[in-house]
Amino acid sequence: MKETIVVTTLVENSVHARGLLAEHGLAFHLQAGPRSLLFDTGQSDLLLHNALKLRISLANAEAIVLSHGHSDHTGGVDAARQAAPKARFFLHPAAPSPKFAGSPDGTGRPIGMDAASAETICKAAKRIVWTATRTEVMEGIFVTGEIPRQNAFEDTGGPFFRDEAGAQPDPLLDDQALFFDTADGLVVLLGCAHSGVVNTLEYIQHLTGSRPIHAILGGLHLLTATPERMEKTLAAFRRLDIQRLAPGHCTGLPALAQLWTAFPARCSSCAVGASWVFQR
């Protein structure tokens, strides 16, 4: 029998509907029949407000999956935990470690999990599933775990460090994507895609016997992409023949403009309240 999977944006940087609110961050809700999960939690407890307005109950969510440790994805961990007390956490072992963004004056700004989120994770010890490698979260719904960085054109660096002084680059090994197969092909939810969006999609294809990629939703982190990287990213999307794209969050306005220009009929908004229905 066919099953419907509904993905809804609970937190994103933009909003186009009355009563819903936006913040710099990302959180998706996924409903698969009677079962549900959260992918990321935004930067605050805003996901609760938006879930209420969207009439989405988090009470029975089985999993809170974290794409990586940055605070714009993990700031709502405590709120999510309280709203979904039965949920297990799925995160990479490097996600809770200290993370900083470099500043021109040489002092780092903390951008990792805040104290409340880290404490919540710590207390949930028995309900944590560490996802260094591919892990099934719910039936047929997987997180990638660590993503190999194979493409030379995807600069997966950036001003990210493990220490405040900016001496140790943070390879963000915790970055992971969520994916599931449908009748039309794979659906991929991206947090920030710090591993590179093409690396991520090619790795998921490797894991799934090269199933076609039907849809990608979320952050593509192309803010600082060079023209060469953009060109090769667009060429990869054409080659992969991705049917539906909902780029948002950290994708960056110039990259968004290029994506919407290159794939006008395939792009849609990832703003708070957007939702997608898939059949599998």
**CB closer to Fe ion, 185 vs 219:** 219
**CB closer to Fe ion, 192 vs 270:** 192
Measured CA to CA, the distance from residue 228 to residue 153 in angstroms comes to 8
* Token code pair at residue 143: 């997180």
178-182 and 185-190 beta bridge pairing: antiparallel
**Shortest distance in whole angstroms from residue 65 CB to Fe ion:** 15
**Shortest distance in whole angstroms from residue 258 CB to Fe ion:** 20
**CB closer to Fe ion, 191 vs 273:** 191
Measured CA to CA, the distance from residue 206 to residue 203 in angstroms comes to 5
**Shortest distance in whole angstroms from residue 162 CB to Fe ion:** 14
Q: Give all strands of the β-sheet with 178-182 in edge-to-edge order.
A: 135-138, 141-143, 178-182, 185-190, 213-219, 244-248
Measured CA to CA, the distance from residue 38 to residue 27 in angstroms comes to 7
**Shortest distance in whole angstroms from residue 68 CB to Fe ion:** 6
**Shortest distance in whole angstroms from residue 92 CB to Fe ion:** 13
Angle (deg, nearest 10), helices 227-240 and 197-207: 30
**CB closer to Fe ion, 185 vs 252:** 252
Binding site for Fe ion (CB under 5 A): 70, 72, 192, 250
Q: Residue 278, class by beta-carbon neighbours within 10 Å (0-12 exposed, 13-18 middle, 19+ buried)?
A: buried
Are the CB atoms for 16 and 273 separated by under 8 Å? yes
**CB closer to Fe ion, 64 vs 250:** 250
**Shortest distance in whole angstroms from residue 26 CB to Fe ion:** 6
131 CB-near residues (< 8 Å, 6+ apart): 90, 91, 92, 143, 145, 176
145 CB-near residues (< 8 Å, 6+ apart): 92, 131, 132, 133, 134, 135, 176
**CB closer to Fe ion, 72 vs 146:** 72
**CB closer to Fe ion, 39 vs 278:** 39
Measured CA to CA, the distance from residue 42 to residue 135 in angstroms comes to 22
**Shortest distance in whole angstroms from residue 126 CB to Fe ion:** 27
